[in-house]
Chain A
Amino acid sequence: MSAESRPAVAEAVVVPVRSGGRSRVTTAVLTYVVAVALAAAVSALFILAMRGDVALAFRTILSSSLGSVAGIAQTLNKISPLLLGSMAVMLARQGGFFNIGVDGQMYAGAIVATGLAFAVGGALPLVLMLPLALLAGFAGGAALGAVPGALRARWGVNEIFVTVMLNFIAYYLTEWVATGPWNDPITGEAITRVLPESATLPMLLPAAGAHAGVLIALVMSAAVAVLLGRTLLGYEIRTVGDNPRAATLGGVRLGRITLVTLALSGALAGLAGAIEVVGYHNRLILGLTPGYGAMAILIAVLGRMHPIGVAVASALVAVLMVGADSLQRSVKLPASAGAVFQAIVVLCVLLVEARAARRARG
């Protein structure tokens, strides 16, 4: 007790952050420009090492993801799960929690939305069915997020383990419903039958195949920003994330905030899962999320756990993901090159940020 030493903490807190000259926002943006330039340089070296054409590779990434309406549509469709997933991670993180269960929560939302559509979709018009399906996704994700929330609030169980384990449960549950009760026998794969017409998300760019999911994602992101910044609940979530003991002494109910935060985080992911079902696949498939959960964590880190930053980072990663798919064809790079680029970007941003933080400390 008395032998513990706190001077390191005290010192880190007492030393003032340099604030003169540039504003905090300018500094943050500048940091990112440097980081992206660095990432481009390192990626170029990587492409050279693979004996690829650097200029062609970069041009391919941009032209395939942003150079055509079809490309833009693909990019927009990717933004929706990435943005909602990373908002889920960010919201949890603001409360001091790690939600590693975005994938599982997406499946949970997708299962509930699909089930509801099969159960009542034939009888309801689109104006009723579609909101219901989205709400079902939200509720399904919330239910799966509430599990680690309740365990953490009641017994202090680490939410990382619980969310990771629930990923497996949700995945195999999806496999079961997609191969069993709801299976589409024609495909012979873990894919369900097509949803009723009424459970279909309208198109944003009908010809190019972009659904309206990105709009929902943007609205929800704005809602999360308002929740965190302008409501008492959001304020309490942030106090718990910043210093749970101080929050407790300030009358914040730790258990309740833990449960609500993780449930809301799961709900955002569940909504993403429902959008994938009603917007993109029109049915539930086992490969619904190709690791969006892991990408969401990277995006939340890239976006500095700030709503605007997370939105920008989601768009950036969506471009990279869509662009990387076409690298294989044009530059003959392996498909995994896309993942390497994403990793390079993340590492460069973290590196430049760490350097900037260190300099600010003097």
Chain B
Amino acid sequence: MAERVHMSGIGKRFGETVALAGVDFTAARGEIHGLLGENGAGKTTLMNVLSGLYRADRGQIAIDGVAAAISAPSDALRHGIGMVHQHVELIPTFSALENVLLGREGGRLWLRPERHREDIEALAARFGLALDLDVEVRRLAVGVQQKVEILRSLYRGVGILILDEPTTMLTPQEVDTLFGTLRAMADQGLTVVFITHKIREILANCDRVTVMRGGLQVATLARAEMDEGRLIELMIGERLQSSSPIAQASSGDVVLDVRDLAVQGERGRPVLADCTFRVGAGEVVGVAGVAGNGQRELADALAGALRPAGGRILLGGRDVTAASVRTRIAAGLVVIPEDRIADGLLPGLSVAENLVLGLHPFAFGGGLSFDRGRARALAREAIAEYAIRARSEDAMAVELSGGNIQKVLVARAMAQARAVGGRLLVATNPTRGLDVRATEFVRRRCLAFAEAGGGVLLFSEDLDELRQLCHRIVVMFRGAIVADFRRERFDPYAIGRLMAGAANPAAP
């Protein structure tokens, strides 16, 4: 195998945080090279250095054996290096074709997309990237948008393609298609670097894997040397039983009863239509679906941040359809929001002030004063219990890392539940961005909520997580609940087909 990428001794600090502490990394021609590690291990940072987004503090990069100075994405592109980031970076109102051409027509006055159409179509066919080039990108499914990004990199002549957690938002079918494409690229001599924290994907698809931990490269293994136990051990530095034993759902009471819930979106288009489902006491119900199929609106309508156009929401038998957020919290409905920064964080306030949000009407004895001492005491407890890494409870929340922000939001919801007697937990991607240990911790918290007699509605992009934790999984597609699976009937491919819009064969 001809070595294409050789990085040695790469170091990178952000302020006082050491992100990379002298990392070596190599990738060869014609391989799919997995880059495995927990969040915060430095995987993305290392690849951002290779793709010119960050400049390393020290270390060397050689491409095809020749030292390369890469200090901007344009330098990386000159060396044939391209990166597809975790969040799609396309212009939503441009067509796929225009997006592929973006940045290629530099210097010329007129765009002539048609000139390039044949070349692009040929390229797409060569790598199995079937898609309609004339559709506006925002109308495409996430999996297809990703194809547009890959195509854009290929059309720029990229020979070393880096993909950062590319499977997060995809259905199982789309994941299979993606790996088909990546294999075709490797077979035709490209180098594919694939960043992930999912060991299963590494085992199924990668020729080699480099494992990172705490800003260091800890091992590089060939396919024959890989096994699940060993990879977990390398990744987290110890053996950890990662099973979340699921408790039997206590039958009986219904904590959440949603009937024909409807929400109007912009221009009166329904984003939620005839949503009907129940969550029982002691039950964990998962909501599967490709992002953008109404999950956010459903979670918002339940939380009380969005006024439904029709239907009813009953919480423990009580109609809360028109109730305020505060009333719902008082009635035992707590939320871990989807986007921790946009929906949850108060960046300019202290960790303590962040932790008491939502709890504040109940935590201070009903008076008018904001008891800072009490808020700080509550915060100290939460910091200890959830192992939140903050300088102190007075530190500004903006200083926290993503995983610690997530812990704050989980701690906040659980504190509310404790204060008011939690009945329903609505959690969206509660473990996203957490390391293995913190993920386990949060999952146990969610399960404990159910074991204590509450109901849990779990929205997750990670189908494996839903299958592991839930008693039931409902599938959302275009604003409706299209299927309801009991645990013994969980089948990722059947669920995946419904997520992608196939008709439900089991439906009446």
Contact = CB atoms under 8 A, between A and B. Distances in A.
Contact of B325 (A10, A16, A229, A248): A248
A253 B328 CA distance: 13
A290 interface: no
Given A242-B347, A248-B325, A19 B341 contact: no
Contacts of A247: 346, 357
B344 interface: yes
B349 interface: yes
Given A233-B368, A245-B342, A19 B138 contact: no
B89 A5 contact: yes
Interface residues of B, number: 58
B134 interface: no
A8 B16 CA distance: 20
Contacts of B137: 3
B399 A4 contact: no
Interface in B380-418: 391, 396, 398-402, 405
B85 A251 contact: no
B239 interface: no
Contacts of B160: none
B169 A16 contact: no
Interface stretch (B61-69, B242-250, B310-318, B358-366): B358-366
Interface string A205-234: 000000000000000000000000111111
Nearest to A243: B346
Contacts of A231: 368-370
B390 to A, nearest CB: 10
A165 B272 CA distance: 40
A55 interface: no
A21 to B, nearest CB: 11
Determine the interface band of chain A, counting residues with CB < 8 A from chain B.
35 or more
A233 B370 CA distance: 8
B15 A15 contact: yes
A233 B91 CA distance: 41
A13 B14 contact: no
A232 B292 contact: no
A18 interface: yes
Nearest to B85: A7
B401 A14 contact: yes
A232 B86 contact: no
Interface string A147-165: 0000000000000000000
Contact of A2 (B145, B303, B348): B145
Contacts of A6: 87, 339, 341-342
Most buried by B among A7, A14, A16: A14
Contacts of A7: 85-87
Contacts of B343: 245-246, 249
A232 B369 contact: yes
Contacts of B504: none
B17 interface: yes
B341 A361 contact: no
Interface in B246-289: none
B347 A10 contact: no
A16 B346 contact: no
Nearest to A19: B391
B86 A16 contact: no
Contacts of B347: 13, 242-243
A74 interface: no
B324 A251 contact: yes
Contacts of B86: 7
B269 to A, nearest CB: 13
Most buried by B among A236, A238, A249, A362: A249
A360 B14 CA distance: 10
A238 B360 contact: no
Contacts of A1: 138, 291-292
A233 B263 CA distance: 31
A10 B169 contact: no
A179 to B, nearest CB: 45
B305 A248 contact: yes
Contacts of B90: 3
A251 B87 contact: no
B337 interface: yes
B38 interface: no
Given A10-B402, A235-B353, A239-B349, A20 B16 contact: yes
A17 interface: yes
Nearest to B303: A249
Given A2-B169, A3-B92, A253-B324, A246 B398 contact: no
Nearest to A238: B349
A341 B89 CA distance: 46
A2 B357 contact: no
Interface in B285-308: 291-292, 303, 305
A127 interface: no
Interface in B192-236: none
Interface string A327-362: 000000000000000000000000000000000111
Contacts of A4: 87, 92
A250 interface: yes
B398 A17 contact: yes
The 7 closest A-B pairs by CB, nearest first: A251-B326, A250-B357, A250-B358, A362-B15, A3-B92, A242-B346, A251-B325
9 contacts: A2-B88, A2-B142, A16-B15, A18-B16, A232-B369, A245-B305, A245-B343, A249-B337, A253-B326
Given A16-B17, A248-B325, A253-B324, 4 more contacts: A3-B88, A6-B342, A13-B345, A17-B396
